Amino acid sequence: MPLIPYFPFRDLERFFEEEFGAPILRERIVPSADIYETDKDVVVEIEVPGIDPEKVDISIRENVLKIEGEERKEREEKKRGYYRKEIRSGHFRRLLTLPTEVKPEKAKATYKDGILRIVIPKKIPAKLKEKETKIKVKVERA
């Protein structure tokens, strides 16, 4: 017997499709992201096909990377003597906690083939001095 996937909001989606003519719940955009480290950088790659990369806002605050933008697509369709125009818009926001401290002022972003690639140099902690420090014990007399 094949497994049947369970979608708890399927009935709600059907209601919106029948009443309003649009699949409202499925229009949410959640782009997939990969995060990995190299020796010197933290690299984030996020899928944003069809989105103008110049309209994507990227910021880093307290080691959290925020990527935010909006997609706007127009589609025209003619069926059985009537004309229909649909505009699909969707806002997305991803908040990604970075695995190590970074230098946000040195970050660079590039866009190619629908993938936004953000390279952020790691903040390398200052090496502890290996100098020995003597601590004198003060004797308190009663």
pLDDT tens, residue by residue, 97-126: 999 999 999 999 999 998 999 999 999 876
Yes or no: say if 21 and 79 are a contact pair by the CB < 8 Å rule: no
Average pLDDT over residues 51-72: 88
Residue 43 has a pLDDT of 97
pLDDT single digits (tens) 1-16: 455 555 555 566 555 5
Average pLDDT over residues 50-71: 88
In this predicted structure, what is the pLDDT of residue 23? Answer: 47
Q: What is the pLDDT of residue 118?
A: 95
**47, 36 contact by CB (below 8 A):** no
Could you list the beta-strand ranges (E) of the chain. Answer: 33-37, 41-47, 57-61, 64-79, 82-97, 108-112, 115-121
pLDDT digits (tens, 9 = 90+) for 25-38: 444 567 899 999 99
Q: Would you say domain 31-121 falls under CATH 3.40.640.10?
A: no
What ranges do the domains of the chain cover?
Answer: 31-121
> Dihedral of CA 98/41/46/51: which sign?
positive
Would you state the pLDDT for residue 1?
45
Q: At 64, which amino acid appears?
A: V
Output 141 or 79, whichever has higher pLDDT: 141
Produce one character per residue of 52-74: b if its CB has 16 or more CB atoms within 10 Å, e if not.
eeeebebebeebebebebebeee
Quickly tell me which residue has 């010197």 as its tokens.
40
Mean pLDDT calculated for residue range 65-75? 78
Mean pLDDT rounded to a whole number for the chain: 76
Contact 118, 125 (CB under 8 A): no
Please choose, from the candidates 107, 94, 99, 101, the residue with its C-alpha nearest in 3D space to the C-alpha of residue 46. 94
Q: What value does the mean pLDDT take over residues 49-66?
A: 89
**Amino acid (1-letter code) at residue 126:** A
